[in-house]
Amino acid sequence: MDQNETVLAVRDLKKHYGKIAAVDSISFHVNRNEIVGLLGPNGAGKTTTINMLLGVLSPTSGTIEIEGIDIAKYRSRALERTNFAAVYAPLPGNLTVVQNLRVFGLLYRVRNLFERIEELLQTFDLIQFRNTKSGVLSSGEQTRLGLAKALINSPDLLLLDEPTASLDPSAAQEIRQTIRDFAREHSIGILWTSHNMYEVADVCDRVLFLSKGNILIEGDPKSLPNEHGKQTLEELFITVAREPLTLEKQV
Protein backbone atom coordinates (compact mmCIF):
# COMPACT_ATOMS: atom_id res chain seq x y z
CA MET A 1 0.00 0.00 0.00
CA ASP A 2 1.31 3.41 -0.95
CA GLN A 3 1.71 5.28 2.35
CA ASN A 4 1.17 8.64 0.65
CA GLU A 5 -1.89 7.51 -1.27
CA THR A 6 -4.56 10.21 -1.28
CA VAL A 7 -7.78 9.20 0.50
CA LEU A 8 -9.52 12.54 0.11
CA ALA A 9 -9.10 14.94 -2.80
CA VAL A 10 -11.11 18.17 -2.81
CA ARG A 11 -10.93 20.42 -5.86
CA ASP A 12 -12.34 23.94 -6.26
CA LEU A 13 -15.11 23.26 -3.79
CA LYS A 14 -17.66 26.03 -3.49
CA LYS A 15 -20.85 26.45 -1.53
CA HIS A 16 -22.74 29.64 -2.12
CA TYR A 17 -26.02 30.66 -0.50
CA GLY A 18 -27.22 33.33 -2.88
CA LYS A 19 -24.42 35.89 -2.91
CA ILE A 20 -22.86 34.60 0.29
CA ALA A 21 -19.91 32.23 -0.14
CA ALA A 22 -19.81 29.83 2.81
CA VAL A 23 -16.97 27.95 1.12
CA ASP A 24 -15.19 29.65 -1.74
CA SER A 25 -13.20 27.46 -4.09
CA ILE A 26 -11.06 25.44 -1.71
CA SER A 27 -8.77 22.60 -2.75
CA PHE A 28 -6.93 20.24 -0.45
CA HIS A 29 -6.16 16.60 0.07
CA VAL A 30 -5.66 14.13 2.89
CA ASN A 31 -3.24 11.22 2.54
CA ARG A 32 -3.20 7.87 4.24
CA ASN A 33 -1.44 7.93 7.62
CA GLU A 34 -2.03 11.64 7.80
CA ILE A 35 -4.05 13.70 10.25
CA VAL A 36 -4.97 17.05 8.75
CA GLY A 37 -6.36 19.81 10.94
CA LEU A 38 -9.09 22.01 9.49
CA LEU A 39 -8.93 25.16 11.57
CA GLY A 40 -10.66 28.46 11.58
CA PRO A 41 -12.90 30.74 13.58
CA ASN A 42 -16.63 30.11 13.97
CA GLY A 43 -18.36 30.59 10.64
CA ALA A 44 -15.18 30.04 8.62
CA GLY A 45 -16.75 27.17 6.68
CA LYS A 46 -15.35 24.11 8.48
CA THR A 47 -18.66 22.40 9.21
CA THR A 48 -20.02 23.36 5.78
CA THR A 49 -16.97 21.65 4.26
CA ILE A 50 -17.45 18.55 6.42
CA ASN A 51 -21.14 18.39 5.53
CA MET A 52 -20.23 18.42 1.83
CA LEU A 53 -17.67 15.66 2.42
CA LEU A 54 -20.42 13.63 4.11
CA GLY A 55 -22.82 14.06 1.20
CA VAL A 56 -25.47 15.83 3.31
CA LEU A 57 -24.86 19.16 1.59
CA SER A 58 -24.37 19.46 -2.14
CA PRO A 59 -21.63 21.82 -3.33
CA THR A 60 -22.38 24.69 -5.68
CA SER A 61 -19.43 23.46 -7.72
CA GLY A 62 -16.22 21.48 -7.37
CA THR A 63 -15.43 17.84 -6.81
CA ILE A 64 -14.87 15.56 -3.84
CA GLU A 65 -13.19 12.20 -4.29
CA ILE A 66 -12.85 9.67 -1.50
CA GLU A 67 -10.41 6.91 -2.43
CA GLY A 68 -10.76 8.13 -6.00
CA ILE A 69 -14.55 7.77 -5.94
CA ASP A 70 -16.53 10.89 -6.87
CA ILE A 71 -19.09 11.41 -4.11
CA ALA A 72 -21.45 13.28 -6.47
CA LYS A 73 -21.66 10.26 -8.79
CA TYR A 74 -21.20 7.31 -6.43
CA ARG A 75 -22.35 8.60 -3.06
CA SER A 76 -22.96 5.22 -1.40
CA ARG A 77 -19.67 3.70 -2.53
CA ALA A 78 -17.73 6.74 -1.38
CA LEU A 79 -19.48 6.92 1.99
CA GLU A 80 -18.91 3.22 2.68
CA ARG A 81 -15.24 4.18 3.10
CA THR A 82 -15.94 7.21 5.26
CA ASN A 83 -17.30 7.91 8.71
CA PHE A 84 -17.54 10.81 11.08
CA ALA A 85 -18.04 11.91 14.65
CA ALA A 86 -19.16 15.31 15.82
CA VAL A 87 -20.16 16.62 19.18
CA TYR A 88 -23.35 18.05 17.66
CA ALA A 89 -24.46 14.71 16.21
CA PRO A 90 -25.08 12.34 19.12
CA LEU A 91 -26.51 8.93 18.32
CA PRO A 92 -30.24 8.39 19.05
CA GLY A 93 -30.65 8.53 22.80
CA ASN A 94 -33.58 6.10 22.82
CA LEU A 95 -31.44 3.14 21.69
CA THR A 96 -28.86 1.39 23.83
CA VAL A 97 -25.16 1.51 23.04
CA VAL A 98 -25.19 -1.93 21.42
CA GLN A 99 -28.43 -1.28 19.52
CA ASN A 100 -27.00 1.91 18.03
CA LEU A 101 -23.83 0.11 16.97
CA ARG A 102 -25.82 -2.74 15.42
CA VAL A 103 -28.04 -0.38 13.45
CA PHE A 104 -25.15 1.68 12.13
CA GLY A 105 -23.11 -1.48 11.54
CA LEU A 106 -25.87 -2.68 9.22
CA LEU A 107 -26.13 0.69 7.48
CA TYR A 108 -22.39 0.49 6.77
CA ARG A 109 -22.65 -3.24 5.88
CA VAL A 110 -19.97 -4.23 8.37
CA ARG A 111 -18.77 -7.83 8.12
CA ASN A 112 -18.59 -9.86 11.35
CA LEU A 113 -20.59 -7.10 13.02
CA PHE A 114 -20.93 -8.74 16.43
CA GLU A 115 -17.16 -9.24 16.78
CA ARG A 116 -16.54 -5.70 15.54
CA ILE A 117 -18.92 -4.27 18.13
CA GLU A 118 -17.20 -6.20 20.94
CA GLU A 119 -13.81 -4.84 19.80
CA LEU A 120 -15.13 -1.27 19.81
CA LEU A 121 -16.82 -1.63 23.19
CA GLN A 122 -13.45 -2.76 24.54
CA THR A 123 -11.45 -0.05 22.78
CA PHE A 124 -13.69 2.76 23.98
CA ASP A 125 -14.30 1.34 27.44
CA LEU A 126 -18.04 1.01 26.86
CA ILE A 127 -18.56 -2.60 27.94
CA GLN A 128 -20.37 -1.70 31.17
CA PHE A 129 -22.70 0.58 29.18
CA ARG A 130 -23.57 -1.89 26.42
CA ASN A 131 -27.25 -2.10 27.45
CA THR A 132 -27.54 1.50 28.62
CA LYS A 133 -29.64 3.92 26.60
CA SER A 134 -27.31 6.33 24.82
CA GLY A 135 -29.34 9.32 26.01
CA VAL A 136 -28.43 8.73 29.64
CA LEU A 137 -24.68 8.47 29.06
CA SER A 138 -22.47 11.34 30.21
CA SER A 139 -21.19 13.62 27.47
CA GLY A 140 -17.79 11.93 27.63
CA GLU A 141 -19.37 8.48 27.28
CA GLN A 142 -21.51 9.73 24.38
CA THR A 143 -18.38 11.04 22.70
CA ARG A 144 -16.76 7.61 23.06
CA LEU A 145 -19.89 6.00 21.60
CA GLY A 146 -19.86 8.45 18.69
CA LEU A 147 -16.24 7.53 18.01
CA ALA A 148 -17.05 3.81 18.23
CA LYS A 149 -19.74 4.40 15.58
CA ALA A 150 -17.25 6.41 13.52
CA LEU A 151 -14.81 3.51 13.46
CA ILE A 152 -17.35 0.70 13.03
CA ASN A 153 -16.76 0.35 9.29
CA SER A 154 -12.97 0.75 9.61
CA PRO A 155 -13.12 3.83 7.37
CA ASP A 156 -10.33 4.92 5.08
CA LEU A 157 -11.30 8.53 5.74
CA LEU A 158 -12.39 9.71 9.16
CA LEU A 159 -13.95 13.14 9.64
CA LEU A 160 -13.83 14.43 13.20
CA ASP A 161 -15.57 17.70 13.98
CA GLU A 162 -14.35 18.82 17.41
CA PRO A 163 -14.31 15.23 18.68
CA THR A 164 -13.00 16.07 22.15
CA ALA A 165 -14.96 19.28 22.71
CA SER A 166 -16.98 17.90 25.62
CA LEU A 167 -14.21 15.92 27.31
CA ASP A 168 -12.04 16.69 30.30
CA PRO A 169 -8.28 16.98 29.51
CA SER A 170 -7.51 13.47 30.72
CA ALA A 171 -10.33 11.84 28.72
CA ALA A 172 -9.45 13.98 25.69
CA GLN A 173 -5.84 12.83 25.84
CA GLU A 174 -6.94 9.19 25.99
CA ILE A 175 -9.29 9.66 23.05
CA ARG A 176 -6.57 11.36 20.98
CA GLN A 177 -4.25 8.46 21.68
CA THR A 178 -6.92 5.90 20.73
CA ILE A 179 -7.63 7.68 17.45
CA ARG A 180 -3.93 8.00 16.65
CA ASP A 181 -3.37 4.32 17.38
CA PHE A 182 -6.28 3.39 15.14
CA ALA A 183 -5.05 5.68 12.38
CA ARG A 184 -1.56 4.18 12.52
CA GLU A 185 -2.80 0.61 12.70
CA HIS A 186 -5.23 0.95 9.79
CA SER A 187 -3.33 3.51 7.66
CA ILE A 188 -6.29 5.85 7.40
CA GLY A 189 -6.53 9.56 6.70
CA ILE A 190 -8.20 11.90 9.19
CA LEU A 191 -9.61 15.39 8.78
CA TRP A 192 -9.86 16.90 12.26
CA THR A 193 -11.43 20.18 13.28
CA SER A 194 -10.77 21.63 16.70
CA HIS A 195 -10.56 24.93 18.50
CA ASN A 196 -8.02 23.46 20.92
CA MET A 197 -4.67 24.47 19.45
CA TYR A 198 -2.75 22.32 21.93
CA GLU A 199 -4.68 19.34 20.60
CA VAL A 200 -4.09 20.33 17.00
CA ALA A 201 -0.34 20.71 17.54
CA ASP A 202 -0.33 17.36 19.32
CA VAL A 203 -2.18 15.26 16.73
CA CYS A 204 -2.05 16.94 13.33
CA ASP A 205 0.63 16.38 10.72
CA ARG A 206 -0.61 19.31 8.70
CA VAL A 207 -3.14 22.10 9.21
CA LEU A 208 -5.32 24.19 6.91
CA PHE A 209 -6.46 27.56 8.20
CA LEU A 210 -9.86 28.47 6.85
CA SER A 211 -11.17 32.02 6.94
CA LYS A 212 -14.35 33.29 5.33
CA GLY A 213 -14.59 30.18 3.17
CA ASN A 214 -11.00 30.30 1.90
CA ILE A 215 -7.92 28.35 2.89
CA LEU A 216 -5.61 31.09 4.03
CA ILE A 217 -2.51 29.18 5.08
CA GLU A 218 -1.40 25.58 5.21
CA GLY A 219 1.53 23.76 6.77
CA ASP A 220 3.09 21.89 9.64
CA PRO A 221 1.46 23.01 12.92
CA LYS A 222 4.83 22.96 14.65
CA SER A 223 6.63 25.28 12.23
CA LEU A 224 3.71 27.34 10.88
CA PRO A 225 3.55 29.90 13.74
CA ASN A 226 7.24 30.82 13.28
CA GLU A 227 6.81 31.11 9.53
CA HIS A 228 4.20 33.82 10.15
CA GLY A 229 6.00 35.62 12.94
CA LYS A 230 3.90 34.15 15.74
CA GLN A 231 4.95 32.38 18.90
CA THR A 232 2.22 29.78 19.06
CA LEU A 233 -0.48 28.17 16.97
CA GLU A 234 -3.07 29.86 19.15
CA GLU A 235 -1.59 33.27 18.38
CA LEU A 236 -1.69 32.44 14.69
CA PHE A 237 -5.31 31.30 15.02
CA ILE A 238 -6.28 34.59 16.65
CA THR A 239 -4.63 36.52 13.82
CA VAL A 240 -6.50 34.44 11.24
CA ALA A 241 -9.73 35.13 13.08
CA ARG A 242 -9.25 38.86 13.62
CA GLU A 243 -6.89 40.12 10.94
CA PRO A 244 -6.89 37.61 8.09
CA LEU A 245 -5.76 40.25 5.61
CA THR A 246 -2.43 40.61 7.41
CA LEU A 247 -1.59 37.06 6.43
CA GLU A 248 -0.48 36.40 2.93
CA LYS A 249 -2.56 33.80 1.18
CA GLN A 250 -0.14 30.95 0.60
CA VAL A 251 -2.29 28.20 -0.81
Partner 1 sequence: MQVQRVSGVMLRIYYLMRSSFTRVFPLFAWAAIDIVLWGFITKYLNVVTKASFDFVPTLLGAVLLWDFFTRAMFGVSTSFFEDVWSRNFLNLFSTPLTVAEYLMGLIVSSVVTSAFGLTIMLIIASLAFHLSLLSYGIWFLPFVLVLFLFGIALGIIAIGIILRFGPSAEWFIWPLPAILAPVAAVFYPVSVLPPVIQPIARIMPASYVFEGMRALLAGHAVPEGTLALGAGLAIIDVLLACWFFRTMYLRAVRTGLIARYSAESVT
Determine the interface stretch with partner 1 among 30-38, 53-61, 120-128, 228-236 (rule: CB under 8 A).
53-61
Counting beta carbons within 10 angstroms of the beta carbon of residue 78, is it exposed (0 to 12), middle (13 to 18) or buried (19 or more)? buried
C-alpha R_g of the chain: 18
Asked if 89 interacts with partner 1 (CB under 8 A), we say yes
Binding mask 123-142 toward partner 1 (x if CB under 8 A, else -) reads --------------------
> Considering the complex, what minimum distance in angstroms separates the CB of residue 89 from partner 1?
5
Residue from 28, 30, 34, 51 touching partner 1 (CB under 8 A): that is 51
> Considering the complex, what minimum distance in angstroms separates the CB of residue 82 from partner 1?
8
Asked if 58 interacts with partner 1 (CB under 8 A), we say yes
Residue from 12, 27, 56, 168 touching partner 1 (CB under 8 A): that is 56
Residue from 23, 26, 40, 104 touching partner 1 (CB under 8 A): that is 104
Cβ proximity to partner 1: between 17 and 223 the closer is 17
| Long-range contacts formed by 231-236: CB under 8 A, 24+ apart | 232/197, 233/197, 233/200, 233/201, 233/207, 234/197, 236/209
Residue from 27, 61, 94, 232 touching partner 1 (CB under 8 A): that is 94
Residue from 77, 184, 222, 249 touching partner 1 (CB under 8 A): that is 77
Written as one string, the DSSP assignment of the chain is --TT-EEEEEEEEEEEETTEEEEEEEEEEEETTEEEEEE-STTSSHHHHHHHHTTSS--SEEEEEETTEETTT-HHHHHTTEEEEETT-PPPTTSBHHHHHHHHHHHTT-TTHHHHHHHHHHHTT-GGGTTSBGGGS-HHHHHHHHHHHHHTT--SEEEEESTTTTS-HHHHHHHHHHHHHHHHHHT-EEEEE-S-HHHHHHH-SEEEEEETTEEEEEE-TTTHHHHTT-SSHHHHHHHHHH-GGGSPP--
Residue from 34, 65, 67, 80 touching partner 1 (CB under 8 A): that is 80
Determine the interface stretch with partner 1 among 87-95, 121-129, 200-208, 225-233 (rule: CB under 8 A).
87-95
Cβ proximity to partner 1: between 78 and 167 the closer is 78
Cβ proximity to partner 1: between 124 and 237 the closer is 124
Residue from 21, 69, 87, 103 touching partner 1 (CB under 8 A): that is 103
Q: Which residues bind partner 1 (CB under 8 A)?
A: 17, 47-48, 51, 54-58, 75-77, 79-80, 84, 86, 88-96, 99, 102-109, 149
